[in-house]
Amino acid sequence: MPHFSATGGDGSLVSQVGMGGPYLLLLFPGRLDAEAVQALAQIIFFHVPDHPAPSIKTPGLHMLRDHDGGIVRRFGALPSEGKGPFRPRAILIDPMLRVIANLPATTPAERAQVFDLLAAQPPAARFADLPLHAPVLVLPHVFPPALCAALIERSEADGGQASGIMRVIDGKTVGVHDPLMKVPRNYLIADHDRIARIQTRIRRSVLPEIRKVHAFEMTRMERYVVGCYRAEDKGHFAPHRDNTTPATAYRRFAISIALNDGYEGGEISFT
C-alpha cells in the first residue's frame, strides 16, 4: 500500500501507518451522493476538493480529503502524469496494509463486486490462516522494583510536561501538539546516575534479545522519558510509528517498560 497522509473530517492529519489490523476498503468515488454513502460501512474514502462529498455520519466510515490529488493518482484514480478522466476505484487492503485488489468502481455492479470480495475474506485475526502478531519482543523483569518506584516517585514530583508528536511542515520536521493523537505527561530523565542505571539494565536485559531475535546491534538511545497517561487528562496515544519523518527516520526500536500495575483501564496494543 503506498504511503500517504491526508486530512480527516475533524481536521486531523491521518496516515496509513496507524491503520493496520482490520481490512480496509479505500474508495475513490469522484462524485458521491448521500444515498450512495448510506450503503457503505467500514470504509475509508478519499476525494479531491473539486468533487463534492456529503456529510458523513455513518459509524466506521471516514472521509479523508486529498487536497492536491496526489493520493488519488498514487492509487490510479487519476493519471500519474498529465490530465485525464477520473476513474473511480475501490482498493481492498489486508490487515498488514497490502493491496488485495484494485478494482474499478464506477457502476453499482462494480461496487457490489468489491463488497463481495471483502465478504469472502477470512476473519482479520486469521487472514494469513494462522494467528499473527506484530514483531514485538515481550520481556519480563527488565527493571527491578526499586528502580520502578524511584522513577514513578520522581515523575510524580516533577509533574511532567505535555508531549507532542513530530510532523513535516513546509519541508521541516517540527514538534506539534495534537490532542486527538496524543495526550500524555512526560518526565524527561536528566540525572546522569539514573540514566546510567537504566542503561545498565537495558544493556543486560534487552539488547541481547534484540541481537538474538533481530540480528541488530544497538549502539545508542535517544532519550529517557517516564510517560504517564492520566485518567483526568483522558490520556492516550493513538496508533503510530516513530520513524515516519525525515528527522526521525533513523529510529529502529522503541522500548516501553511498564513501571507499575494495580491501575484500572489502560492498555497497550500493537496492530
CATH number, domain containing residue 70: 3.40.30.10
Question: Is the model's pLDDT at 114 over the cut of 70?
Answer: yes
Specify whether 171 is located in the same domain as 60: no
Distance CA 113, CA 121 (A): 13
Instruction: List, in sequence order, every residue forming a beta bridge with 28; answer none if it has no partner.
Output: 89
Q: Are residues 13 and 67 in the same domain?
A: yes
pLDDT of residue 38: 59
**In this predicted structure, what is the pLDDT of residue 41?**
58
Residue keyed to cell 502524469: 81
Domain-terminating residue out of 126, 158, 187? 126
**Position 270 in a domain:** no
Residues 98 and 193 in one domain: no
Q: Based on the domain organization, do 150 and 119 belong to the same domain? A: no
Q: What is the mean pLDDT of the chain?
A: 84
User: Does 65 reside within a domain?
Assistant: yes
Sequence letter at residue 106: T
| 8-12, 105-109, 143-147, 203-207, range with the lowest pLDDT | 8-12
Q: Check whether 132 has a pLDDT greater than 80.
A: no
Q: All 3 cell numbers of residue 188?
A: 524527561
Among the listed residues 105, 97, 107, 119, the one whose alpha carbon sits nearest the alpha carbon of residue 41: 119
Q: Is residue 261 one of the residues assigned to a domain?
A: no
Position 137 in a domain: no
Number of domains present in the structure of the chain: 2
pLDDT at residue 224 in the model: 94
Q: Select the more confidently predicted residue: 19 or 38.
A: 19
Q: Which amino acid is at 122?
A: P
* The pLDDT of residue 211: 95
DSSP 4: -
Q: What is the average per-residue pLDDT within 83-104?
A: 88
Asked whether residue 89 is domain-assigned, the answer is yes
* pLDDT of 99 over the 90 cut: yes
| 107 lies in the same domain as 169 | no
Q: 186-196: per-residue pLDDT in tens? A: 999 999 999 99
How far apart are the C-alpha atoms of 100 and 117, rounded to whole Å? 9
Domain that holds residue 116: 5-126
CB within 8 Å of 165: residues ≥ 6 apart: 175, 176, 177, 178, 181, 182, 240
pLDDT of 166 > 90? The answer is no
Strand 5-8 and strand 61-65: the pairing is antiparallel
User: Which pLDDT does position 37 carry in this prediction?
Assistant: 62
The answer on 33 and 112 residing in a single domain is: yes
At residue 54 the predicted structure's pLDDT band, cuts being 50, 70 and 90, is low
Look at residue 268 and tell me if it is in a domain. no
Neighbouring residues of 239: CB distance < 8 A, sequence distance ≥ 6: 17, 18, 19, 20, 21, 271
Nearest residue to 55 (alpha-carbon basis) of 74, 75, 33: 33
180 within some domain: yes
165 and 84 part of one domain: no
Residue 266: inside a domain: no
**pTM for the structure as a whole:** 0.66
Q: Are residues 41 and 69 in the same domain?
A: yes
The cell numbers describing 260, all together, are 507499575
Q: Which residues pair with 185 in a beta bridge?
A: 162, 228
Residue 39: which pLDDT band, with cuts at 50, 70 and 90?
Answer: low
**Do 191 and 234 fall into the same domain?**
yes
Q: Are residues 39 and 121 in the same domain?
A: yes
d(CA 185, CA 179): 12
201 in the same domain as 110: no
Whether pLDDT at 33 is above 70 = no
**Whether residue 168 is found in the same domain as residue 85:** no
